[in-house]
Amino acid sequence: MAKSKALNWLIYAGGTPAALGSEKNSSLTINHSPIDVTDKGSDDWLELLAGAKDWAVDCDGCYIDDDTAYDELEAAMLAGTSTTVEFRDTGNNDKRHGTCSITNLQLNASNGDAVTYSISFQGTGALSSSTY
pLDDT digit string (tens) for 26-80? 999 999 999 999 999 988 899 999 999 999 999 999 999 999 999 999 999 999 9
Rounded CA separation 112/59 (Å): 22
Cross-strand pairs, 10:
88
Residues written for the chain: 132
3 state DSSP class of 74: helix
CATH code for position 73: 2.40.10
pTM of the model: 0.89
Give alpha helix (H) positions in the chain.
68-79
Best CA proximity match to 84, nearest among 132, 17, 37: 17
Domain-embedded: residue 38: no
Count up the domains in the chain and report the number: 1
Domain-embedded: residue 30: no
pLDDT tens digits for range 109-132: 999 999 999 999 999 999 999 998
